[in-house]
Amino acid sequence: MPSADSPATLAAVLPQALRPLFWDCDFDQLDWQAHRDFLVRRVLVEGDWDAVCWLRRELGDAGLREWILQHQGRALSPQQLRFWELILDLPKDEVDRWLQTEARAIWEGRSRR
């Protein structure tokens, strides 16, 4: 069993600065390994610059690029997708295709009242 300050334990501890992003769940029960997909999505969609920088350090740009490609940019706004397209060198044709899907067009086209 790893000690409380071993690297394996420290890597699994999420920074307290992320706590406000996870207001709707038990933050202390979140685990990077077990909940990685959920954590990445929430940080990308709702996180501030510091949270996104933390995520980039954890995943690396190659890992973040792979995650976005694997999920086809789902949950990210068009502005967020275009940002990551530039930063991570995502294929423009692919990002364009994601943004033109029928499901996204319905979601993006909803009225705000």
Decide if 58 is inside a domain.
yes
Decide if 113 is inside a domain.
no
Decide if 1 is inside a domain.
no
Judge whether 98 and 104 are in contact, CB under 8 Å: yes
| Residue 86 one-letter amino acid | L
Between CA 20 and CA 18 the distance in angstroms is: 6
Decide if 54 is inside a domain.
yes
Decide if 101 is inside a domain.
yes
Between CA 33 and CA 27 the distance in angstroms is: 14
Q: Which of 40, 36, 50, 51 is nearest to 76 (CA)?
A: 40
Decide if 73 is inside a domain.
yes
Report the number of distinct structural domains present in the chain: 1
Decide if 38 is inside a domain.
yes
End-to-end CA distance of the chain: 54
Decide if 104 is inside a domain.
yes
Low-confidence ranges of the chain (pLDDT < 50): 1-11
Quote the mean pLDDT of the chain: 85
Longest distance between any two alpha carbons in the chain, whole Å: 54
83 is in which domain, residue-wise? 7-108
Between CA 80 and CA 64 the distance in angstroms is: 13
Q: What is the pLDDT of residues 21-45, one digit of tens each?
A: 999 999 999 999 999 999 999 999 9
Between CA 73 and CA 56 the distance in angstroms is: 16
